């Protein structure tokens, strides 16, 4: 076998199994005593990967497919969200895919007989114990398992290359292609973008009310993913009104169009340039999301953000926007002394005020989320009750909801959801006691 002849598809993060299986393909007839134990170790690692990733079916094919969809190289990155590219690189990729086609088509029957290891048949037709996965959510897992089946159906390397390229166009490559949301970790090597594996499955239609704020957010986001001019966006207003939920919702709504969300906290602002350096040459649209953003008057991290949004020598990439949520309209705490004529504190008090206000002015779109009034709150409660199958008369429902909000944070969408969760929990407890 020719894994060492690969040109474009090299440096796999999990390539040990491939090297060991290829060695077995070449040496299992030689009588080498290492072959049989190695074969069983490969079975162990493939079954462990199935448990971690949730794979099912032919685990050898799933493993190979996982290598291909995660290998970020010059070809796969060029094809992500765009599709086929021109040039000689296609010939080199076809050479590599022909080698992978040999791996996919390999018949293990004789190896199993020679090494007296019939258990490998289980690996070739594996039934998953559960739908859970530590690495992928169910949607991604199913895409990889289905792609593995398509590769088997492809008659030749050219057809397999076309199938893979179509996958890159639809879903992308690597972590940035397969996942919706990410966080930033600071390591010894620098900033690292890490997938968030369990993002909340919330959509804009799930958020009751706030139609105008949602429309403004969608218009700006749709322009961004379509490649048109768009603005950095600040969602501000009262606590519990759905600002963060709206950002999570657009991550779900626009994932298929290439949108990715990267969560960043203010203590990580020093990593902003390093993060953007990893994003600017990719074919996705990235929103750097800063939740509950605000600064005390002694905190200076906001200056990193100001320079990034507008003002630094290096232009912010066109595929990156900043979305922030805050309970404060102006983000930075202000004191009455900032506006007073206090010569003993600041000779240029007006400049100090303008510096603090300049950050919010760099968000081109600001969207206000206000607390609902009593009638709107009751409408939210009623809608959530219907969605969750709660059959409570409106009069009783509103009476209970009004009592709940008085001692649980006041009128807000969050309070309404907490109230519904309380009713669901108590009704489930009653049902359990009856059974």
In this structure, of 270-279, 299-308, 341-350, 378-387, the range with the lowest mean pLDDT score is 341-350
Assign 366 to helix, strand or coil: strand
The more confident residue out of 169 and 297 is: 169
Range among 255-264, 293-302, 410-419 rated most confident: 255-264
In this structure, of 8-22, 259-273, 337-351, 410-424, the range with the lowest mean pLDDT score is 337-351
In this structure, of 211-220, 258-267, 330-339, 412-421, the range with the lowest mean pLDDT score is 330-339
Task: Kindly report, residue by residue over 288-329, the tens digit of the pLDDT.
Answer: 999 888 776 666 666 777 776 765 556 678 999 999 998 876
Between CA 339 and CA 337 the distance in angstroms is 5
pLDDT at 347: 47
pLDDT at 345: 55
For the chain, which residues make up each domain, given as ranges?
3-176, 181-369, 374-434
Q: Are 252 and 180 in contact (CB under 8 A)?
A: yes
Assign 133 to helix, strand or coil: coil
Q: Are 349 and 336 in contact (CB under 8 A)?
A: no
Q: How many residues does the chain have?
A: 435
Residue 14 has pLDDT above 90, yes or no: no
How far is Cα of residue 355 from the mean position of the Cα atoms in its chain?
Answer: 34
Six-digit token string for 434: 């009856």
* Cβ atoms < 10 Å from Cβ of 130: 7
Average confidence score pLDDT of the chain:
86
Q: What percent of the chain has pLDDT over 90?
A: 52
Residue 408 has pLDDT above 60, yes or no: yes
Residue 349 has pLDDT above 60, yes or no: no
For tokens 């218009």, name the residue.
Answer: 219
How far is Cα of residue 429 from the mean position of the Cα atoms in its chain?
Answer: 35
Between CA 393 and CA 43 the distance in angstroms is 58
What 378-381 contacts at long range (C-beta under 8 Å, 24+ apart), as own/partner pairs, is 379/208, 379/209, 380/208, 380/209, 380/413, 380/416, 381/416, 381/419, 381/420
Residue 434 has pLDDT above 50, yes or no: no
pLDDT at 138: 82
In this structure, of 136-150, 353-367, 371-385, the range with the lowest mean pLDDT score is 353-367
pLDDT at 137: 79
The more confident residue out of 249 and 429 is: 249
Between CA 135 and CA 393 the distance in angstroms is 44
Between CA 287 and CA 262 the distance in angstroms is 6
Residue 355 has pLDDT above 80, yes or no: no
Domain 181-369 top-level CATH class: alpha beta
pLDDT band (50, 70, 90) for residue 430: low
The more confident residue out of 125 and 345 is: 125
């Amino acid at each position: 076998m020719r894994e060492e002849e690969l040109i474009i598809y090299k440096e796999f993060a999990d390539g040990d199994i491939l090297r060991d299986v290829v060695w077995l393909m070449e040496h299992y007839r030689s009588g080498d005593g290492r072959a049989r134990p190695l074969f069983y170790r490969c079975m162990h690692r493939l079954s462990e990967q199935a448990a971690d990733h949730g794979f099912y079916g032919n685990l050898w094919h799933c493993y190979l497919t996982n290598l291909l969809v995660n290998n970020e190289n010059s070809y796969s990155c060029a094809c992500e969200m765009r599709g086929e590219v021109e040039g000689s690189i296609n010939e080199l990729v076809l050479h590599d895919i022909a080698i992978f086609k040999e791996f996919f088509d390999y018949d293990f029957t004789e190896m199993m007989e020679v090494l007296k290891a019939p258990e490998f048949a289980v690996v070739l037709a594996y039934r998953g114990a559960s739908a859970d996965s530590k690495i992928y959510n169910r949607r991604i897992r199913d895409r990889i398992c289905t792609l593995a089946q398509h590769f088997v159906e492809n008659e030749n390397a050219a057809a397999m290359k076309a199938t893979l390229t179509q996958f890159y166009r639809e879903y992308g490559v690597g972590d940035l292609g397969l996942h919706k949301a990410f966080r930033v970790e600071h390591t010894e090597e620098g900033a690292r973008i890490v997938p968030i594996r369990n993002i909340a499955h919330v959509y804009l239609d799930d958020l009751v009310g706030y139609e105008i704020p949602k429309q403004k957010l969608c218009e700006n986001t749709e322009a961004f993913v379509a490649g048109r001019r768009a603005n950095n966006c600040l969602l501000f207003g009262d606590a519990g009104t759905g600002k963060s939920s709206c950002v999570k919702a657009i991550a779900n709504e626009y994932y298929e169009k290439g949108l990715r969300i990267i969560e960043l906290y203010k203590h990580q602002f020093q990593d902003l340039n390093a993060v953007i350096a990893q994003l600017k040459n990719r074919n996705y649209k990235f929103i750097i999301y800063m939740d509950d953003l605000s600064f005390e008057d002694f905190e200076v991290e906001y200056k990193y953000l100001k320079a990034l949004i507008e003002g630094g020598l290096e232009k912010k990439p066109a595929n990156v926007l900043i979305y922030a949520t805050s309970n404060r309209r102006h983000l930075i705490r202000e004191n009455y002394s900032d506006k007073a004529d206090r010569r003993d504190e600041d000779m240029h008090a007006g400049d100090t005020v303008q510096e603090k206000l300049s950050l919010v002015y760099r968000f081109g779109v600001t969207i206000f989320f206000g607390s609902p009034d009593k009638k709107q709150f009751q409408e939210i409660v009623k809608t959530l009750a219907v969605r969750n199958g709660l059959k409570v008369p409106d009069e009783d429902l509103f009476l209970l909801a009004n009592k709940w909000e008085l001692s649980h944070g006041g009128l807000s969408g969050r309070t309404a959801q907490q109230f519904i969760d309380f009713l669901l929990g108590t009704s489930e407890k009653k049902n359990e006691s009856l059974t």
